[in-house]
Structure 1
């Protein structure tokens, strides 16, 4: 024990010079005792020498487990040569069965974040040698970050080698040991494709180097079995994630289109989800598979026809809105009850966005209300009424069609509410026989009153429906010249109704008959045309069916009346300014300058946070264009890992216009990387309160694609006022 420690070369010569096994064992035991003593004394200078001798003793077959903690000590050293020996010792002396293996995870994690690529390489090599399931799960985010942030020289060296390996797998023949269902080593192909997807993101040079090989894999791989489908799916994900050629991206869409014809529902579901992520960038290529997507609506699997519905709605454009609407109306009529709300909402939104003319728009909304019933959105009735008011030339046609629909069925409450409102407003057109487009039907006053009375007495009618029917009867008392006493009797019956709203209306209407009959005609006049400034989310429809943006004269007044109108869902009308106002011009100009100089900045807004991903909005109002709002959307990671396939979609009410510019990328790196940014240009001519609906699609580090739908109503007031 008192003898000085020997070096590694001296130990090797001594062992080789041993003539018998007993002499060698005695020599090794004596050296192990010296190393134990040195470890107990904690000599930092001899740590590397002792561990190298222990590794040599371990290679000879003698126990060297007492050096495990010495390996962990060297891993924490800031010097590279000591770290190298420590990782070598850990790779040889540790395994999953050792308790010290649990202490290795933190050391590897620290070295993966080291600025030196050499130290990172040591940690990665050790992780590949000793990584257990738990260790790989804990360090997966760090490894993926390193792969995504690899320097350009590393990418240039890695991509050709991976491409060459993938090419060799494609051209190699059948191998009994590695081929599965005719596909050569599919597990290795999937790993290689995933690595190419990481290396090719953000690098046009690396993407161009892999184009030919990706095309070869996509063309030669068969889809008769799940093995080939899995390889093709990874190929499609790689093609769409990197800067691939346009023809290659069309090939990827066609592969997903072939997946839709598969008998395996899992493959069809994955294809629909992947196509939905590509609908924004590959709209023209996806239109070729529109018929196949619509056929998926008839699949009995609820997951498939739900995803097929989302994709069908996303494929609607102004060119195919008529045919797509007919197909989706057929689906709406026969779909399960749980599917009616999203289908009805999507159809109403598409009709509002792509309607070729007002009549088609109104007919489509009426069909949706007839088929969906109470599954339509809450604002569908008010939007349809607003549209009808602006279509003056179609009033005879609309009121006759609604009268016929109401006479056939009074169970669909949204349709009944629209019909009763229209009959009350334009009931005189039912008797005028002024509609040349509809079939001539003789309607008498008694039939109209009996139909409204039937709605009032039906147990299916909701309180809002009865209120609309009661008001319609009152309006018909000024539009029809028949039995006014019958209307008075019907109204008086509800003066003792249990519903407070109906009772109040009936009492007021009775007072109008008795005390203010001379004012009844003027009080119950027809509703005026609803301007865009008076209804949020509306457009002014000009003669000839052309839509124009609402005027920019609407201003909000900070008063109690403005607050009340805001609660009702729309901004107030413009405040009246006296014509003879004597405000000095100079004072007005000073007021304007004061507003410009004291305008506070718009505070940012955190829109959403989840799965380690955070989305923030930053706002800017260009001084030259007060109706334009620039929104910079920033997506960043709050936890280690990389989010791929990020896609942001936005929609605003019709009184606003939104334009999304191209994002800075499709991947969101970890906390140390730069966030992904995308600019939204929102034009708000009427200065209506800003509302926005967002749809996020992304793939977290876990690899399972996620979709989120958000509705934002809490924008800062300075963003739209």
Structure 2
């Protein structure tokens, strides 16, 4: 019998081996497809044969698994896999469980066929390996129905089976229970607490690391299932769950402390990994304890151990080596635990935050790039907790910019921009610019998509940083800030202007336009135009396809050419910058981008036409003006409809008298911000400032308006066009129009009840109306710090529907909310059941610039 079994297994292996050899030996994809299709058909035919021997059936199932690995359809063999499990032969059963775990998933209806088979194998009287196979399959491949049916069988193994003293079976049982509870949290209602008590009080638990690891997994599943229970069950079941399970398992917290601290001194060779005792178990114990102390309900058995847990984390962080991979894993899990704790006050956590950041900073010194990446990625997330501690390690962050791995460079750049403030703005921006210059010099010819992404990251982050921070506090002169930023932007344009998108170019142009120090601004622009207008240096200093540089140069010529040529305070090389070279440069740009039809090239043509039109009133040379007119005229037949339309309109304006064009083509105004648009026409504003009479108002004559009509419209229209769209029709009464424009003062009502309070914000609620199936209230938010970009996210139970209104505040800007201001938001709920609200708030602190978020749950007394 033994020789017969051996020969059959050799045949099976040989047959499978030949199939694999044929597939690998196929010379073309068509040959491989033919071999796979032929074998798939053979397997399908063989499995339909009811008289097929067990050895051949196993061979075909093995071929089926190889087809699965190749990505082929294997659904026709699923029933045969289940039939193998039902066999009494262990060889068949083992292969059947393996193939079932791979070929089926929890959504398959065929899983119902496994219920009785798994139940029988779980209660097998003599073979521990069959029980082990059944536990593995049930844990990895289970549906909600299967979990509910077989959960008592798994508990029975621990309490009454003769294998309940064997570590192999016990650890698999506990992990299977954890998987089943994760699948269906309602199983906690029938969880036998004696099972946990037996495992924890037995010597097996105290001696075997595998069982202890499984206990940790079970605790994690119980703690994580609380959120699921709170969302799907009523209040009685939640309280019942808390009363029974959590206090019971929380009494074992000291035991987990003891085990975790004992592992640091454990030198058992069996569990020693490069000098660290069982890092897998240490990480799981730390995570389990973190879940205990993050439990959303106040439980005395947990809260009384809070100080002990902080001391344990400090001991683990101080006594674990950071020179080995396993030690770094334990330290990383420790820092994750530190920054995820929510139920401790800030005073207790401040030293712990510093310890966690210092631990992550030691990873930056490692030679392993994976460790560096993890450290940089984690430090970005923990900056809001203790920004000063992260600032101390900027030397090591800057060193990461010299790493060869581009992913390390990108994460280091993200972190540098995250720690920016008014004090270190000059230092860090200069370091980033030096990095960009070296990158341009060494990698420009070898740029790929990753390099381009990094450049986009630098440019976008730089624009955002310039809007948030200033060097005026450090230098004492506000004008120095805009000039310094303008120098940086010009250097950015020169180095990597070909990677800048159009939205960023618009932000750069606004920075040029809003710079108030005119003489310094013109001096910088003249140096920029000196490069653009001098052809022999163009190839040496900027790239040919530097479209952002060209757009900004064209815009500056249209806006400032007359001021540059006439300003005596600015030293200009008139041999390079004169009317002839300006017109020639625009013609050159027109020829260079005549064939290129991508989006950025078309945008450049739009800027080019506008600049040519503006220069028609700023240049005096008639030949240059005629060249500009021809430039516009040639574009009136452009294949792009928008360019053609603009060229036709500009051609009409070009032929207007000079005194008309000067009013139309006046300089751009100062922008308050990039998104705001002027509420009154710029030309009309210029007319009011210059004090022109009605007779000389040529712009109004051109637009077929009279001055009286325009003034009458100004009286009737609100100053803000957005308010005009949102407001109802106004009357001619100026006082009523003014009242509609004024925002009502929002105050906190006396009968509002506080539902949440933290160091950053307080939340109140006020009942408006309550009927059967309908509830309406108002939420009031009172920031205790200056914040902006407040966003609220609300959720109710599945039986209810929520309608959330807009945020309203008395301040002029609904995106920025000063300290102690009141923000109001309406809220309507329809449906049935007890009213419970989960609210998440996200906002940015104006003091630190960090992003903050808070989440809380509140249960109201009312029932819909």
**Contact (CA 8 Å) 1:660, 1:681: kept in 2 or not?**
no
Q: Point out which structure has higher relative CO (alpha carbons under 8 A, 6+ apart).
A: 1
CA drift of 1:321 comes to: 1.5
Kindly indicate whether residue 562 of structure 2 is the aligned counterpart of residue 421 of structure 1.
no
Of 337, 343, 353 in structure 1, the residue corresponding to residue 452 of structure 2 is 337
In structure 2, the CA distance between the partners of 1:553 and 1:493, relative to structure 1 (3 Å rule), is closer
**Contact (CA 8 Å) 1:399, 1:423: kept in 2 or not?**
no
Match of 1:88 in 2: 159
CA drift of 1:492 comes to: 3.4
Match of 1:656 in 2: 815
Of 554, 558, 562 in structure 1, the residue corresponding to residue 720 of structure 2 is 554
Match of 2:257 in 1: 163
CA drift of 1:309 comes to: 2.3
CA drift of 1:405 comes to: 4.3
SS in structure 1 of the partner of residue 355 of structure 2:
helix
Normalising by structure 1, we get a TM-score of 0.61
- Per-residue CA shift, 1:466-505, capped at 9, x if unaligned? 2312321221121122233343344334344444444444
Match of 1:218 in 2: 317
Separation of aligned partners in 2, 1:681 and 1:327: 30
SS in structure 2 of the partner of residue 358 of structure 1:
helix
- Per-residue CA shift, 1:680-719, capped at 9, x if unaligned? 46999xxxxxxxx999999xxxxxxxxxxxxxxxxxxxxx
- Per-residue CA shift, 1:212-245, capped at 9, x if unaligned? 2322221222222212222222222222233463
CA drift of 1:255 comes to: 1.3
Kindly indicate whether residue 384 of structure 2 is the aligned counterpart of residue 280 of structure 1.
yes
In structure 2, the CA distance between the partners of 1:141 and 1:377, relative to structure 1 (3 Å rule), is farther
Kindly indicate whether residue 387 of structure 2 is the aligned counterpart of residue 387 of structure 1.
no
Of 255, 280, 301 in structure 1, the residue corresponding to residue 359 of structure 2 is 255
Q: How does 1:122-521 map to 2 (within 5 A)?
A: 122=195, 142-145=221-224, 153-154=247-248, 157-172=251-266, 174-201=267-294, 205-242=304-341, 243=344, 245-333=349-437, 334=439, 336-356=451-471, 357-394=481-518, 395-407=521-533, 408=538, 409=542, 411-436=545-570, 443-459=577-593, 462-483=601-622, 484-514=625-655, 516=657, 519-521=660-662
CA drift of 1:589 comes to: 8.7
Normalising by structure 2, we get a TM-score of 0.52
Structure whose residues are more often helix by fraction: 2
How many residue pairs get aligned? The number is: 539
Q: How does 1:16-165 map to 2 (within 5 A)?
A: 88-89=159-160, 92=163, 113=186, 119-120=192-193, 122=195, 142-145=221-224, 153-154=247-248, 157-165=251-259
SS in structure 2 of the partner of residue 273 of structure 1:
helix
CA drift of 1:637 comes to: 12
In structure 2, the CA distance between the partners of 1:161 and 1:405, relative to structure 1 (3 Å rule), is farther
CA drift of 1:675 comes to: 8.3
**Contact (CA 8 Å) 1:399, 1:429: kept in 2 or not?**
no
Q: How does 1:528-543 map to 2 (within 5 A)?
A: 528-532=669-673, 535=676
**Contact (CA 8 Å) 1:352, 1:361: kept in 2 or not?**
no
**Contact (CA 8 Å) 2:562, 2:619: kept in 1 or not?**
yes
In structure 2, the CA distance between the partners of 1:117 and 1:419, relative to structure 1 (3 Å rule), is same
Match of 1:665 in 2: none
SS in structure 1 of the partner of residue 412 of structure 2:
helix
SS in structure 1 of the partner of residue 192 of structure 2:
helix
In structure 2, the CA distance between the partners of 1:424 and 1:238, relative to structure 1 (3 Å rule), is same
CA drift of 1:58 comes to: 6.7
CA drift of 1:247 comes to: 1.9
CA drift of 1:377 comes to: 3.9
Match of 1:633 in 2: 793
Deviation larger for 332-341 or 282-291: 332-341
Separation of aligned partners in 2, 1:525 and 1:188: 73
Deviation larger for 629-638 or 226-235: 629-638
Separation of aligned partners in 1, 2:569 and 2:669: 21
- Per-residue CA shift, 1:152-177, capped at 9, x if unaligned? 745763332222222233345x3333
**Contact (CA 8 Å) 1:632, 1:678: kept in 2 or not?**
yes
CA drift of 1:591 comes to: 12
SS in structure 2 of the partner of residue 632 of structure 1:
strand
* Gaps in structure 2 of 5+ consecutive residues: 1-122, 136-146, 228-240, 296-301, 444-450, 472-480, 680-717, 748-775, 799-812, 821-833, 856-864
